[in-house]
Chain A
Amino acid sequence: MKKNLVPLIVLAVLAVFPLVVEDNYYRHLMIMFLMWVVIGSAWNLIAGYTGQVSFGDAAFFGSGAYAAGLLSHHLQLSAWWGLAIGGFVAVAVGMPFGWICFRMRGAYFALATLALNEVLRHSAAIAEGFTGGMVGILIMPTFVSKIPYYYVALALAVASMLSIQWIVHSKPGYYFVSIREDQDAAESLGIDTHFYKMLSLAVAAFWTGVAGSLYMNYMGFIDPDVVFSLHDISIMAILVGIVGGVGTVYGPAVGAFIMVTVQEFFRSGFFGLFDFLGRATGSAAVESMAKTITGAHVLGFGILVVVVILVLPNGIVGDWPKIRNVFARNKIAA
């Protein structure tokens, strides 16, 4: 019971969050956070549990987003249909690649997802008649307030986490881990490794696609460079998984929270701290520094990747004992 207490408290806090916090900026950040929980959990299922690292989550994300966008663009259906269909479109896009690549060992799957992402990005840019090309797709948002989006995102985050938790604690989940640990041993026990890798990919692609549809609905605008972005989507998905903890149920949620915060932290120049200092002191040097720091937010991101992998290769949840030890030792020293 105690084990379930923390998630329940977190869930309760999340449920009342938009009612308490009126500021739309923080609501927006929380929606982004919840979206990344969905994507991170999905990535974690295929990479963390099954051991097949995907470098092209943007391919699934973008497929979902474009499914929703094109439905409303061509068929005048509400983009919300994308939530139902986007996930399946992403699965349909990912399956052939999984089918080809899972029969080979090693890095082929990682490379293929990377390639898939590039193909889709260029295709979306070239097929102007169908996708609007580089101009992108613009839809009218359904709601003015952010609260409905927040609760949809929260529902998706909870649903994705529950479904993935259910899967990893049922028979396929144990098969996934056995494939990750030793594919030969798994095969010798009669596990159809190809089938279970495909299953894992299908679930991961589905949730990533759904997250993409949510993004389309919420943002109201997509273009190929945004939703098929290697850095902003694929790498971010990996980071969310790695920072939080690979192969743990709650890792991606922790990772999503940290990554969204960090991303915003860099993008807004330490939450406007430098802008504030610049205005307060009126010094041009600080102001230009503020500009430089916001300009270098991707650099900060890259350094973070390097440092996290060096120091916490299993993520915050995975390396929690290690982190606790460091703090415990400091306390004794003090």
Chain B
Amino acid sequence: MDVFLQTLVAGVLKGGLYALIGIGMTLIMGVMGIINLAHGQLMMVAMYITYILHVAGVDPYISLFVAMPALFLLGCVIQRYLLNPLLKVETILPENQVLMTVGIGMVLTEVVRFIFKSDYKSVSTDYSNATFFLGNISFSVALTISFLIAIAFTVAMFFFLIKTDIGRSIRATAQDKDAAVLMGVNTGRITIVTFGLGSALVAAAGSLLAPVFYVFPDIGGPFTARAFIITILGGLGSTVGAIFGGVTLGLAESFGATYISMDYENIIGMTIFVLVLLFLPGGFKRLTKV
């Protein structure tokens, strides 16, 4: 029973962070209708920012306030100068934007590799390996704090989208771009802000993950893969879905690692992905209708 509960806790804690990664992606996907395959790489950049600040003596949770604005700007620049121009040209493939994000991801990874080499860096703080116990179940301190911050961001994001003007504009653009333009929404600017927000959210996840993961240039790829699994699980463009998707993936990975084999951790996500496509094509959005 303890093993079961322990796995459950580990899965949920990991799932909270996954949710944060997924929300950024689902936001971008919902508004722009493109898959951002540079998502994990943006997170990797944020992790390196956290690492640099850590070397300079700044706590990862404080470097959150540097990494998020920095990635917000980076996201805005990417959308403004690299992705938006693609909308104007006539091409055969609508997926050009997706290919562009692949290119951006490669450039980000390689620039970082160029500067920092491929070495594994670690952002080790005194709470990186610290744990506390509730009964017989151990909680990683770093993951628990991250989980709480991730939940806070997720809730904030949800209310931002529902209550504020910009949030409403974002949702309007996501629902129907042309109608949004007619209602006076500057959709061009909204896409830029959205990509920035998505990047900032994944930057938060990066800073929060930095104390518990090794940092290296290729860490982006697997997280891009996870982000899109979460997005598909939750339903494209659904914030609430992303939370469910993130926690589901976290749980599945933990249980898979405990009860099947560590080797299969990476395959489990993909298997879920295929199962969801087969049996629940709209993702959890279909069930919750949010």
Contact = CB atoms under 8 A, between A and B. Distances in A.
A298 B110 contact: yes
B111 A306 contact: no
Given A118-B270, A314-B92, A235 B111 contact: no
A10 B107 CA distance: 35
Contact of A242 (B85, B99, B105, B274): B99
A104 B281 contact: yes
Interface in B83-124: 85-86, 89, 91-96, 98-100, 102-107, 109-111, 113-114
B86 A309 contact: yes
Given A180-B92, A242-B99, A314-B91, A101 B277 contact: yes
Contacts of A303: 103, 107
B186 interface: no
Contacts of B151: none
Contacts of A138: none
Contacts of A53: 93, 95, 98-99
A301 B147 CA distance: 37
Given A53-B93, A302-B110, A303-B107, A100 B102 contact: no
A306 B104 contact: yes
A302 B107 contact: yes
Query: Chain A contact residues: over half helix, strand or loop, or mixed?
Result: helix
Interface string A114-136: 11101100110010000000000
B205 interface: no
A276 to B, nearest CB: 23
Interface in B138-169: none
Contacts, number: 125
Nearest to A302: B106
A235 B102 contact: yes
A305 B93 contact: no
B270 A119 contact: yes
Contacts of A126: 263-264, 267
A293 B110 CA distance: 12
Given A53-B95, A180-B92, A314-B92, A298 B106 contact: yes
A122 B98 contact: no
Q: Select the residue from A108, A122, A313, A314 with max chain B CB neighbours within 10 A.
A: A313
A100 B95 contact: no
A305 B86 CA distance: 13
A64 interface: no
Given A51-B93, A298-B106, A314-B91, A306 B100 contact: yes
Size category of the binding interface on chain B: 35 or more
Interface in B258-275: 263-264, 266-267, 270-271, 273-274
A29 interface: no
Contacts of A242: 96, 99
Interface residues of A, number: 47
A299 B94 CA distance: 25
Given A107-B95, A111-B228, A309 B103 contact: yes
Contacts of A230: 221
A47 interface: yes
Q: Select the residue from B93, B109, B114, B232 with max chain A CB neighbours within 10 A.
A: B93
Contacts of B106: 231, 235, 298-299, 301-302, 305
A247 interface: yes
A302 B102 CA distance: 8
Contact of B274 (A55, A100, A107, A298): A100
A299 B113 CA distance: 9
B82 interface: yes
A309 B114 contact: no
A75 B94 CA distance: 45
A1 interface: no
Interface string A24-67: 00000000000000000000000110010101000000000000
A302 B221 CA distance: 15
Contact of B267 (A48, A108, A123, A238): A123
A9 interface: no
A110 B232 CA distance: 12
Given A48-B92, A104-B277, A299-B114, 14 more contacts: A53-B95, A100-B278, A106-B33, A107-B95, A111-B273, A126-B263, A235-B102, A305-B99, A305-B102, A306-B107, A309-B103, A313-B89, A313-B91, A313-B96
What 9 pairs across the A-B complex have the smallest Cβ distances? A305-B103, A302-B106, A299-B110, A302-B107, A53-B95, A306-B103, A313-B91, A115-B270, A119-B270
15 contacts: A47-B95, A48-B92, A112-B273, A112-B274, A115-B225, A119-B271, A298-B110, A299-B106, A299-B107, A299-B111, A306-B104, A309-B99, A310-B86, A313-B89, A318-B92
